A and B are shown apart, each in its own frame.
Chain A
Amino acid sequence: MTDIEIEREDEQIETHRASAHTGHPSAKEYVRIFLILGTITALEVAIYYVRDGFGSWFIPVLFALAITKFALVVLWFMHLKFDDHRFSRFFLMGLSGAATLYLVVLISFKVFLR
């Protein structure tokens, strides 16, 4: 291998490293996110036991909490907040496609009117 080729391979490795994980959170930040997730889970369970007090807000509140947990894991633990935006687009493509498709199915079967 010539010096130029070796230099090029080194550059490729560095490019790969940079694109694979840049600016990821620190261990402390990961622990902080986990504590938030744990608190939200505890909140969900607490709300479940006092669901009568929430009336018709019970399900929307639970969904809001679940979406918050989902977003925290995807953005911080899966690093979509820090990685190239094209990864987010790829994931959102499947996620929004699935959500739209299955929402249409549920609406067609009048699930929300039961």
Chain B
Amino acid sequence: MADAAIAKGHVEHETTTGLPHTKLAMWLFLSSECLLFGALITTYVLYRGSSQKGPFPADVFDIGYTSVSSFVLLASSLTMVLALAAAQKRDFTRMRLWLVTTALLGMTFVGGQVYEFSSFYLNDKLGIDTNLFGTTFYVLTGFHGVHVTVGILMLLSLTGMSFADRLPDDPAFPVEMVGLYWHFVDIVWIVIFTVVYLIPTGPVPK
């Protein structure tokens, strides 16, 4: 068993901390991502209500629509942990099923975001250079969308590796690493949903 795992080159060797370095590095990476998204959210809050001309948040947001998107992303976090639970039991069929489901839910979220951006741009004439709201909103949610897209690619790669029998001896480990990234993207959205969408400036829209 050890030889097979070594041949695949995925064995975490003994470390001075006693912790797997890959996982430690992932947590450090996520820790640094807090600073990135913190900067973007702070910029949005800093310029909130500073736009000299419309459209303003209250003119464009559809909270019902965004709530469904948020629910979809939350559901994808559930399917991600179910994929991990299946990987830990070495139930590869279910693991692939949940990984693909997570990727599909992620695609639904990104698709919803593309639709939302298109609607804002075409119907409400809100471009990235229209006003301060447009600039800070598109940069913040756009960065988040890119992170979700990267997560989808990671999920699909993991599924492909599983089909090609290229997962390491402990298949739960890479699933857990991708899962950490995916859940991080989810918690960032939890903050964005509250700060950007639910706390608008001006009167309650729609």
Contact = CB atoms under 8 A, between A and B. Distances in A.
Interface of A: 1, 6, 9-10, 12-13, 15-17, 19-21, 24-27, 30-31, 33-34, 37-38, 41-42, 44-45, 48-49, 51, 58-59, 62-63, 65-66, 69-70, 73-74, 77-79, 84, 86-87, 90-91, 93-95, 97-99, 101-102, 105-106, 109, 111, 114
Contacts, number: 170
A73 B70 contact: no
Interface string B33-57: 1110111011001101100000000
Given A74-B187, A87-B24, A10 B38 contact: no
A90 B28 contact: yes
B191 A24 contact: no
Contacts of B191: 66, 70
Listed from nearest, the 6 A-B pairs whose CB atoms lie closest are A94-B31, A9-B2, A98-B38, A34-B78, A102-B42, A66-B194
A59 B199 contact: yes
22 contacts: A9-B2, A13-B2, A16-B11, A17-B170, A17-B173, A20-B173, A44-B193, A62-B199, A66-B193, A66-B194, A69-B187, A77-B78, A77-B80, A77-B179, A86-B19, A90-B24, A90-B27, A90-B31, A91-B30, A98-B38, A101-B35, A102-B42
Main secondary structure on B side of the interface with A = helix
Interface in B165-206: 169-170, 172-173, 176, 179-180, 183-184, 186-187, 190-191, 193-194, 198-199, 204
Interface of B: 1-3, 5-6, 11-14, 17-20, 23-24, 27-28, 30-35, 37-39, 41-42, 45-46, 48-49, 63-64, 67, 70-71, 74-75, 77-78, 80-82, 84-85, 88, 169-170, 172-173, 176, 179-180, 183-184, 186-187, 190-191, 193-194, 198-199, 204
Contact of A12 (B11, B176, B183, B198): B11
Contacts of A1: 3
A20 B199 contact: no
Contacts of B31: 90-91, 93-95
A31 B85 CA distance: 12
Contact of B34 (A15, A45, A87, A98): A98
Nearest to A50: B204
B166 to A, nearest CB: 18
Nearest to A69: B190
A24 B64 CA distance: 34
A6 B172 CA distance: 22
At the interface, is chain A mostly helix, strand, loop or mixed?
helix
B195 to A, nearest CB: 8
Contact of B3 (A6, A86, A90): A6
